[in-house]
Amino acid sequence: MKMVDVGGKERTERVAVATARLRMKPETVARIRAGQVEKGDVLAAARLAGVMATKRTPDLIPLCHPIALTGVTVEVTLDEGGAHVRAEVKTLDRTGVEMEALTAAATAALTIYDMVKSVDRGMVIEALQLEHKAGGRTGTWDRGTAG
């Protein structure tokens, strides 16, 4: 095993977007919306956890490069069936930020689970996936147009 040498690559702008879905009971969604969760503001905690997780990605994923992040946005929206997480990560560096975006989305979903597990242990985290990446040698990739 080895960490890939990216020293000869140019620093370029790179972006990645990842999403995750958390299925839960409608009653659980209603409690989150009403702010009736004992641990506090679920959506704010999930967003913050996602941002913090991007900074720790190289500590969690073996051989993942530490990257100077230039921007991280984590959004969480609710619908009747659960929560949808979207994480966007940007850098100006020698390697991409796909792993950071995926880590942010996963951690935000895990945070939601942790905060409401006392009322809904049957939640399911699913569809953790890369939606978009741009920059670098391989250019742009979009899930919607991937063949």
Stated pTM of the model:
0.95
pLDDT, residue 10, reads: 87
Q: Are strands 12-23 and 82-93 parallel, antiparallel or unpaired?
A: antiparallel
- Tokens of residue 136, six digits: 């670098």
Number of domains in the chain: 1
Residue 14 covered by a domain = no
Residue 47 lies in a domain: yes
Residues marked active site are found at 114
Give mean pLDDT in consecutive 10-residue pieces for the chain, a chain of 147 residues.
88 97 98 97 98 97 96 98 98 96 98 98 98 94 84
CA separation for the pair 37, 117 (Å, rounded): 10
Which pLDDT does position 41 carry in this prediction? 98
80 is a domain residue: yes
pLDDT at 143: 96
What residues contact residue 95 under an 8 Å CB cut-off, 6+ apart?
4, 6, 9, 14, 65, 67, 136
- Give the torsion sign (CA, 49, 54, 59, 61): positive
Q: What is the pLDDT of residue 147?
A: 58
Q: What is the CATH number of the domain that holds 115?
A: 3.30.70.640
* pLDDT score recorded for residue 98: 97
Domain of 39? 35-137
Instruction: Look at residue 9 and tell me if it is in a domain.
Output: no
Which residues contact residue 124 at a Cβ distance below 8 angstroms, ignoring those fewer than 6 apart?
Answer: 22, 23
Distance of alpha carbon 84 from alpha carbon 79, whole angstroms: 8
Nearest of 100, 116, 105, 79 to residue 20 by alpha carbon: 105
pLDDT of residue 8: 84
